[in-house]
Amino acid sequence: MPSVRAAGPVRRAPPPGVAACALFDVPLGTALTRNAARSRVVDPHVVTELHQMLPTAEQLTAEGFGAVYRIPDGILDL
């Protein structure tokens, strides 16, 4: 199980019945670097296309998520 470091104030969970999601905010350059280091590399143009398709916090809120938690790059020790 990965460890998690605190990245600022701890937020309370949303109330029961409120849809929540985590938005992992990883820069494209970081994603490409990590991909290149994998044993099974994905074509970089595929990584780039998928990265461009990622929704923003505003788009997720507009989709109906009551809580969007942004997880900055480097928070999870993977």
- pTM of this structure: 0.67
| Domains contained in the chain, number | 1
Phi, psi for 51 (deg, rounded to 5): -65, -40
* pLDDT grade for 39, boundaries at 50, 70 and 90: very high
Strands 67-72 and 20-25: parallel
pLDDT tens, position by position, 14-31: 677 788 899 988 999 999
Please state, in angstroms and rounded to a whole number, the distance separating the CA atoms of residues 32 and 49.
11
The answer on pLDDT for 69 being more than 70 is yes
Is there a domain that residue 78 lies in?
A: no
Greatest CA separation found in the chain? 41
Find all residues with CB under 8 Å of 68, minimum gap 6, and list them.
20, 21, 23, 57, 60, 61
- Domain containing 32: what range? 20-72
Is there a domain that residue 53 lies in?
A: yes
Is there a domain that residue 43 lies in?
A: yes
Is there a domain that residue 36 lies in?
A: yes
The answer on pLDDT for 78 being more than 60 is no
